[in-house]
């Protein structure tokens, strides 16, 4: 199910400086593996690049691959974060996935790299 080969990068022009890149993807979709119903969410990436930055069109194409995947919120958020870290190799990443309510319950999943201290 990993689609990380779709993610592309380009050279960070300011690798000596810590700065934050924020990317919001308000149209993320996947499928609930229990009900088969579509899940809709907003993904918010906040990262400090090291040598590479993610190329946005490739990120869009990568995220579209989850459209028909039966996958839980927690799993898809962690899988996306893992793929992003593997390809982009940021200094830091926080990925926040906010899913629209279903049955009166909404979910927000936050993944950080490096892992937050317990």
Q: Which of 39, 51, 82, 83 is catalytic?
A: 39
Q: Which of 25, 32, 82, 83 is catalytic?
A: 32
Is residue 32 annotated as part of the catalytic site, yes or no? yes
Q: How many CB atoms lie within 10 A of CB 34?
A: 8
Token code pair at residue 53: 């930055």
* CA dist., res. 88 & res. 10, Å (int): 9
Token code pair at residue 13: 């022009």
Is residue 53 annotated as part of the catalytic site, yes or no? no
Measured CA to CA in angstroms, residue 47 lies from 18, 96, 112 at distances of 10, 11, 10
Known catalytic residues? 32, 39
């Amino acid at each position: 199910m990993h689609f990380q080969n779709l993610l592309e990068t380009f050279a960070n022009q300011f690798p000596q400086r810590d700065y934050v890149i924020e990317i919001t993807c308000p149209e993320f979709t996947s499928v609930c593996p229990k009900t088969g119903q579509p899940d809709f969410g907003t993904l918010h990436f906040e990262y400090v690049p090291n040598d590479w930055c993610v190329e946005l069109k490739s990120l869009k194409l990568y995220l579209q691959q989850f459209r028909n995947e039966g996958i839980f919120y927690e799993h898809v958020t962690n899988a996306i974060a893992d793929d992003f870290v593997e390809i982009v190799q940021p200094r830091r990443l926080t990925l926040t996935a906010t899913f629209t309510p279903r049955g009166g319950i909404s979910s927000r999943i936050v993944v950080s790299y490096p892992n937050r201290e317990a």
